[in-house]
Every structure is written in structure tokens, then in C-alpha cells.
Amino acid sequence: MSRGGLSTPFDLLYLSCLYADSMLSYVTTTPEEKDSLLGTPNPRASFVATFIDRMQDSLNSDIIAVVG
């Protein structure tokens, strides 16, 4: 069966989706975080910037744990 040229997603893409979903769930269930995010002039940009920082921190800690 043809999947239209789709390939298996990379592990990093899968982990990125898990992190984004986890962060979105946290923000939407924590009233203080939700109010803080929605109080910014551009909530999407704030979410993306925070997400990128968290991903970089997570990747750096994973690298340190492996290299050790």
C-alpha cells in the first residue's frame, strides 16, 4: 500500500510532539500558567519560545547523561 512518499518519523519528531503535548496540557490545566501565557502580547510566540528552551534544556541534559 502506498503511503504517498511518507516515511517513518524520526525519534526527535516523535519526542517533540510528546513534549509539546505535555507542555500544552500543563499550561491548560494550571490557571496561573494559562493566565500568564494569555497575558502576553503574542501567546503563540511565547509558547513556542518556551517550548524551544525546554527542548534544548532536555536535549542538553540527555546528552550530558549519555556522555556523562
pLDDT digits (tens, 9 = 90+) for 30-48: 999 899 889 999 999 998 9
Rounded Cα–Cα distance for residues 44 and 49 (Å): 9
Q: At what angle do helices 43-67 and 31-38 cross, to 10 degrees?
A: 120
Q: Cell triple for residue 38? A: 494569555
Structure-model confidence comparison of residues 49 and 6, the more confident one: 49
pTM: 0.62
Rounded average pLDDT over 44-55 = 88
pLDDT over threshold 90, residue 6: no
Rounded average pLDDT over 21-37 = 89
CB burial class (10 A; 0-12, 13-18, 19+) of residue 32? Answer: exposed
